Structure 1
């Protein structure tokens, strides 16, 4: 099993596009290229897009964002 920090570091090295699920906001996802993170799981995303789930799925371009670690529920690789 790969430790989570190693997996996230791999995403960073490969400039992977990731999807982030937000804590207590089940209808919102963020996608973007992982550009950096720290020991508190604060994450920098480049070319970030906010995707609203639900009846009317909407996308909003955000650009570069810094997401505080305690707002993150899940980080997954985007194909």
Structure 2
């Protein structure tokens, strides 16, 4: 993947631990560019594998944060 595409799709918007820490091109604002890049990913198995691994990592991180939040609510707090 070239550097420009990597910056576009994998640049953090805020804290990496946030549930929406990463975002790509919005389909409504740049539909042609999104379709072109999606075609490249679908036609290149290595890019598609890297993308799916990254999505899996982000989902795991999100689930971990959700578990932490749920566990924190269940513990009594001492004021």
> Which structure shows the higher helix fraction?
2
Larger Rg: 2
What is the TM-score when the length of structure 1 is the normalising length? 0.25
> Which structure shows the higher strand fraction?
1
What is the TM-score when the length of structure 2 is the normalising length? 0.25
State the structure with bigger RCO (CA 8 A, min sep 6), 1 or 2.
1
